[in-house]
Amino acid sequence: MPPKRRRILEATLRQDLASFITRVFSVTNPGTKYIPSWHIDIIAEYLNACTRGEIHKLIINLPPRAMKSLCVSVAWPAWLLGHDPSRRIIAASYAQAISIKHSLDCRLVVQSNWYRSLFPYTLLTKDQNQKAKFQTTARGYRLASSVGGSVTGEGAQVKEADLMAGLYDFAEIEIFKVNYTDLSQGTLKLRRGWIGEVSVNKGQFVAEVRGLMQALSQTIGELYSPSCRASLGDSRCKIAMEPYTRTGSITSVTDNTRFADSTRVEAAGYFTFGKITFTSGANNGLSMEVKEYVPGKITLALPMPFAVVVGDTYSMTAGCDKTIETCIVRFANAVNFRGEPHVPGTDRMLQTAGTRTEW
């Protein structure tokens, strides 16, 4: 094949999943003629949408021998690892034998000469040579599982930094059964809930799943208190946050909790209990509560999950300590104060005639 034509073909296989599936078919089914069909293009289009995060749940309901498994369990994982060798993929099937076959087929593709020419940076390690799992030198992998199989400790694309960043806070969990021979029958829901407390240890995580009954254990109602029960800027507070939001960039960094912006001149405490949101850098889009602010120096309540570096830009909102004094002086919003600043405290209520010092 002429070099120019070869380069065009390789570029097509790298960028077009449907074309890549065609090439994978020739590797896993040698001697079998591939017959092009429109449904392969549709499957590839939907899998690309899954890759981009536009689709989170996808069911492909086609008759047997329509190449569903080859597209989803063989070609797609190989294509994902080619573009990102650090990806961690769990591929499950209803039967162990089929799950292992798909794993071996995917490994055959990744180890082929044409694949290594397409993706030279996706290399397999020599120490992870199991039928059910192969691993890249970038610590990505494809793990095969089946009904009754175990994936304990295998986080797939769930990363510790993502957990710390709150990306999975209150994520919805659904557990259900399907008739794999006829997906049109729908699903039989077994359990539904949300992610609760999560603990992380050496790359493994354990997540608490809170069911619908969890809502019944929550306290409903409010207590009298001298501090405000509204959150700054919410529908009860009614403060517009735009006038109290500042932008800037980091000029020096101590660690992921403490850093500075030398251009900040607001009074001490102005941003304390406020929120900082990064608008560039590794933490782009992530937010954290400000624990303490003094002119030019910012301390967070918890460290940011990714490195904070000089030049990172941010927006930061003023903080509120929920006292009536701050509500009046800083925000001129006493009319919407959602507390009882003059309610007697515990000491006052427990006073007797013998202990009271003022009348």
Concatenating the DSSP letter of every residue in 244-285 gives: GEEEEE--EESSSSEEE-TT--PPTTSSTT-EEEE-SSTTTT
Q: Confidence band (pLDDT; 50, 70, 90) for 318? A: very high
User: Does residue 277 surpass a pLDDT of 50?
Assistant: yes
Tell me the C-alpha distance between 342 and 324, whole Å.
10
pLDDT tens track for 326-336: 999 999 999 99
Q: Tokens 């190449």: give the residue.
A: 67
On whether both 131 and 253 belong to a single domain, the answer is no
In a domain, 306, yes or no: yes
**What is the overall mean pLDDT for the chain?**
85
* Residue 164 in domain: no
Q: Give the whole-angstrom CA distance, residue 246 versus residue 328.
A: 21
- Strand 141-146 relative to strand 88-93, pairing: parallel
Reference 145, options 230, 73, 83; nearest CA is: 73
Per-residue pLDDT reduced to its tens digit, 129-145: 677 888 888 888 888 87
Region of poorest pLDDT, from 67-81, 99-113, 209-223, 238-252: 209-223
How many domains, in total, are found in the chain?
2
Dist CA 276 CA 289 (whole Å):
6
What is the rounded distance in angstroms from the CA atom of residue 309 to the CA atom of residue 223? Answer: 43
Q: Against a cut of 0.75, is the pTM above it?
A: no
* The pLDDT of residue 153 is above 60: no
Question: Which tokens sit at 307?
Answer: 């490195």
Residue 45 lies in a domain: yes
Q: What is the CA radius of gyration of the chain?
A: 28
The average pLDDT across 24-44 equals 91
Q: Do 146 and 273 reside in the same domain of the chain?
A: no
CA–CA separation, 272 and 319 (whole Å): 5
Decide which of 138, 157, 176 is a domain's last residue: 157
Say if residue 256 is in the same domain as residue 146.
no
Domain that includes residue 292, residue range: 242-336
**pLDDT greater than 50 at residue 162:** yes
**E strand or H helix at 117:** helix 113-118
End-to-end CA distance of the chain: 102
Distance between CA atoms of residues 341 and 331, nearest Å: 16
Angle between helix 96-110 and helix 17-28 axes, rounded to 10 deg: 110
Which helix (H) or strand (E) covers residue 133, if one does? strand 133-136
> Is the predicted pLDDT of residue 161 greater than 70, yes or no?
no
Confidence of residue 148 (pLDDT cuts 50, 70, 90): low
The letter for the amino acid at 299 is: T
Q: What is the CATH number of the domain that holds 272?
A: 2.40.10
| Same domain assignment for residues 247 and 142 | no
- In a domain, residue 89? The reply is yes
Least confident of 101-105, 117-121, 174-178, 265-269: 174-178
